[in-house]
């Protein structure tokens, strides 16, 4: 099949079973969009025209996380490509399979500082698993296949494909690529080594107070069933990282919720009191462990991760298991069963129950500032939407309120920028998730500061008919920074007051979406219930007090015991 480079890219994407591309065309990608034209008309592919390339990248990421397959975004050379960078960095930090296709100036112009030229391969190399520049059309089939293979195997992550404009015009004999090889990259089986499983089980049998810490890797490897099975067998309570929310249903009796800087009391205290930590698909991030030096000093640690470079990176461990989370958890459970371990109620179960009881009063209380309290808002949202609804978040207080008080019941239904913490992520990610799962309600819990960074893509939501619901936690401040200023800077609120923010309901209406402002819990409840099956994008403006904090909080660098409950 004799094709132009541009058509070859489109064919190669179809060979990868791509259904949706999020992007914005530009000078260098005109031939690519020309090749897309018939496909889009024929319905072979869907293109979502974003209003900002950053949003296109976040949409592809939200799509990837909701569906568990690679998401694809595209932008033109120069500013289009650089606008993708934040989105690519988010995907990199959260190990999400995103394939970004960028146009580049023609080969003869590369290096000449041509119009709209940027060295995107150089820029993206540190924030991708791999950044390719295609130098001739004949490389297209293999390179596209390689990009998807890299993005979606082992530890997943973003891959960039940079294609010069004249390569799109160059002709190529197109044949679907076979298996490709990229250097020494090997797709791992993910099977744990039997010896490491044996050693890990040895520690598990000795342990009196085990705790499982589940990270994003558990969600990425679809290991919920295996995690719950192991936790029930031992039995061991399960704390999660922010990225691990959804690894276990948070109403499960063994679930302790999120641990870390803004973690729940029972999760943090369990981590402090445990004599064995089984860390799965997580990287001992500073936000999760508090003090790197002191975390886990009284416990043995088993660390399961698919990426060998994570072992020992942040914390020394006793038993490393380099494996896929699902396979490792299954192997541990199977070995326990082979050995005939009977679960028993023990002191540790009692202690966990005691901790849960101790902190429940704090979580259940409705005390707070202002008429609408964030934790109650989160609980109302949970009670009004189906279990399988997907929730995305912005970054900041809104994100931590959601993490603390919104119970996630199914995997891949909580999508947040955990590693990079990129404000503006929630709304475009919600659009990507909705495109991936059109039959599920999708709610974006956002802050006013976060939402204002990407709200222009309400235009996309309206035009492309992607009905997600955004709850704007509207406190007219950059709340998380303000909270730190309050607690650590002697209330010197330097540049965190947004002053006057737009009327979010009217803003939504200006775009052709629906806007609702609520003042009471019952109005909030009505608005949410009405939004569940809505066919237009909705923005619900939820006023909250600027003095409402995210609590409890472990001050940075402190141990998880040194938690502050009142600020």
Partner 1 sequence: MAEYELRIISALVEDRPGVLFKVTSLIRRRGFNIATITVGSTEKDKISRITITTRGNPAVVEQLVKQLSKIPEVLKISELDPDDSAFRELALIKVSAVESLKRSDILNYINIFRARVIDVSKDSLVIEVVGQPKKIQAFLDLMKGFGIIEMAKTGIVALSRGAKSTSVSDPTAK
Question: Nearer Cβ to partner 1, position 124 or 236?
Answer: 124
A 10 A CB-CB count for 286 gives: 14
Query: Using the rule CB under 8 A, is 122 a contact of partner 1?
Result: yes
133 flagged as catalytic: no
The residue within the footprint of partner 1, chosen from 150, 167, 200, 231 (CB under 8 A), is: 150
300 flagged as catalytic: no
Stretch that binds partner 1, among 101-109, 121-129, 209-217, 365-373 (CB under 8 A): 121-129
- Selecting among 1, 38, 112, 115, the annotated active-site residue is 115
Question: Nearer Cβ to partner 1, position 316 or 557?
Answer: 316
Residue 470 DSSP SS3: strand
The residue within the footprint of partner 1, chosen from 181, 343, 369, 506 (CB under 8 A), is: 181
Which residue is associated with the tokens 């540790």?
A: 348
Instruction: Quote the CA–CA distance of 557 and 260 in Å, as a whole number.
Output: 11
Closest to 80 (Cα-Cα) out of 60, 53, 109: 53
Query: Using the rule CB under 8 A, is 184 a contact of partner 1?
Result: yes
Largest Cα–Cα separation, the chain: 72
The site that binds partner 1 (CB under 8 A) totals a number of residues, namely 19
Let me know: does 434 contact 467? Beta carbons within 8 Å. yes
Least Cβ distance, residue 191 to partner 1 (angstroms): 17
115 flagged as catalytic: yes
Query: Using the rule CB under 8 A, is 182 a contact of partner 1?
Result: yes
Q: Please give the structure tokens belonging to residue 322.
A: 């380099």
Question: Nearer Cβ to partner 1, position 312 or 557?
Answer: 312
Query: Using the rule CB under 8 A, is 126 a contact of partner 1?
Result: yes
Let me know: does 178 contact 242? Beta carbons within 8 Å. no
Let me know: does 494 contact 477? Beta carbons within 8 Å. no
Stretch that binds partner 1, among 306-314, 355-363, 422-430, 524-532 (CB under 8 A): 306-314
53 flagged as catalytic: yes
165 flagged as catalytic: yes
Question: Nearer Cβ to partner 1, position 155 or 558?
Answer: 155
Tell me the per-residue interface mask from 309 to 328 with partner 1, x by CB under 8 A, - otherwise: x-xxx--x------------
Least Cβ distance, residue 326 to partner 1 (angstroms): 21
Which residues on neighbouring strands pair with residue 99, listed in sequence order?
72, 159
Stretch that binds partner 1, among 88-96, 99-107, 118-126, 394-402 (CB under 8 A): 118-126
- Selecting among 204, 282, 400, 480, the annotated active-site residue is 480
- Selecting among 129, 165, 245, 356, the annotated active-site residue is 165
Question: Nearer Cβ to partner 1, position 181 or 369?
Answer: 181
Question: Nearer Cβ to partner 1, position 181 or 529?
Answer: 181
Which residue is associated with the tokens 């948070």?
A: 250
Q: Which residues contact 90 (CB under 8 A, 6 or more apart)?
A: 57, 58, 61, 96, 417, 419, 420, 422, 425
Instruction: Quote the CA–CA distance of 279 and 260 in Å, as a whole number.
Output: 14
- Selecting among 16, 53, 514, 548, the annotated active-site residue is 53
> Which parts of 437-478 fold into alpha helices (H)?
448-454, 458-463
Question: Nearer Cβ to partner 1, position 122 or 202?
Answer: 122
What single string gives the DSSP state of each residue in 208-221?
Answer: SSEEEEE-HHHHHT
Torsion of CA 543, 548, 552, 558, to 10 degrees: 120
Q: How far is CA 476 from CA 53, 487, 547, in A?
A: 26, 19, 11
Question: Nearer Cβ to partner 1, position 308 or 556?
Answer: 308
Q: Which residues contact 512 (CB under 8 A, 6 or more apart)?
A: 462, 536
Least Cβ distance, residue 223 to partner 1 (angstroms): 22
Query: Using the rule CB under 8 A, is 125 a contact of partner 1?
Result: yes
> Which parts of 392-447 fold into alpha helices (H)?
397-405, 426-436
Stretch that binds partner 1, among 302-310, 363-371, 500-508, 540-548 (CB under 8 A): 302-310
Query: Using the rule CB under 8 A, is 148 a contact of partner 1?
Result: no
Residue 240 DSSP SS3: strand
Instruction: Quote the CA–CA distance of 2 and 421 in Å, as a whole number.
Output: 45
The residue within the footprint of partner 1, chosen from 22, 32, 63, 130 (CB under 8 A), is: 130
Least Cβ distance, residue 151 to partner 1 (angstroms): 13
Chain residues in the site for partner 1 (CB under 8 A): 121-122, 125-126, 130, 150, 181-186, 307-309, 311-313, 316
Residues acting as catalytic residues: 53, 115-116, 165, 480
């Amino acid at each position: 099949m004799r094709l132009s480079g541009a058509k070859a890219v489109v064919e190669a994407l179809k060979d990868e079973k791509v259904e949706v591309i999020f992007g914005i065309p530009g000078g260098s990608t005109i031939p690519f969009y020309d090749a897309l034209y018939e496909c889009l008309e024929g319905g072979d592919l869907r293109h979502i025209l974003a209003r900002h390339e950053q949003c296109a990248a976040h949409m592809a990421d939200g799509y990837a996380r909701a569906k568990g397959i690679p998401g694809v975004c595209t932008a033109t050379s120069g500013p289009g490509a650089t606008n993708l960078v934040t989105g690519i960095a988010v995907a990199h930090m959260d190990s999400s399979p995103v394939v970004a296709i960028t146009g580049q100036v023609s080969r003869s112009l590369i290096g000449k500082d041509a119009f709209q030229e940027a060295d995107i391969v150089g820029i993206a190399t540190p924030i991708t698993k791999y950044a390719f520049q295609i130098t001739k059309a004949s490389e297209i089939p293999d390179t596209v296949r390689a990009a998807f293979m890299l993005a979606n195997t082992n530890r997943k992550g973003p891959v960039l494909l940079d294609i010069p404009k004249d390569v799109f015009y160059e002709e190529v004999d197109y044949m679907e690529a076979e298996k490709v090889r990229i250097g020494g990259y090997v797709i791992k089986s993910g099977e744990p080594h039997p010896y490491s499983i044996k050693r890990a089980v040895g520690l598990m049998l000795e342990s009196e107070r085990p705790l499982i810490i589940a990270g994003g890797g558990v969600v990425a490897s679809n290991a919920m069933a295996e995690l719950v099975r192991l936790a029930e067998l031992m039995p061991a309570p399960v704390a999660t990282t922010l990225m691990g929310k959804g690894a276990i249903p948070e109403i499960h009796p063994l679930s302790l919720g999120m641990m870390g800087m803004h973690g729940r009391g029972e999760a943090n205290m369990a981590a402090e009191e445990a004599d064995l930590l089984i860390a799965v698909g997580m990287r001992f991030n500073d936000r999760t462990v508090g003090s790197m030096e002191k975390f886990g000093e009284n416990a043995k640690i088993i660390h399961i991760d698919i990426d060998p470079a994570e072992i020992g990176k942040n914390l020394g461990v006793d038993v490393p298991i380099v494996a896929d989370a699902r396979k490792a958890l299954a192997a541990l459970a199977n070995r326990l069963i082979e050995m005939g371990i009977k679960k028993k109620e023990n002191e540790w179960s009692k202690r966990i129950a005691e901790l849960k009881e101790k902190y429940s009063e704090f979580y259940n209380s409705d005390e707070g500032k202002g008429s609408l309290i964030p934790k109650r808002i989160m609980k109302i949202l949970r009670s009004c939407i189906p279990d399988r609804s997907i929730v995305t978040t912005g970054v900041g207080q809104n994100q931590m309120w959601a993490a603390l008080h919104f119970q996630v019941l199914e995997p891949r239904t909580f999508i947040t920028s955990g590693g990079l913490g990129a404000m503006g992520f929630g709304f475009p990610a919600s659009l990507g998730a909705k495109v991936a799962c059109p039959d599920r309600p999708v709610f974006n819990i956002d802050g006013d500061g976060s939402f204002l960074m990407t709200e222009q893509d309400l235009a996309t939501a309206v035009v492309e008919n992607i009905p997600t619901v955004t709850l704007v936690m509207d406190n007219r401040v950059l709340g998380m920074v303000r909270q730190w200023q309050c607690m650590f800077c002697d209330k010197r609120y330097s540049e965190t007051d947004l002053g006057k923010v737009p009327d979010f309901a009217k803003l939504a209406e200006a775009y052709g979406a629906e806007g609702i402002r609520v003042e009471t819990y019952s109005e909030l409840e009505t608005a949410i219930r009405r939004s569940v099956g809505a066919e237009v994008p909705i923005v619900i403006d939820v006023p909250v007090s600027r003095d409402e904090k995210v609590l409890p909080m472990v001050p940075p660098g402190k141990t998880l015991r040194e938690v502050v409950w009142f600020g």
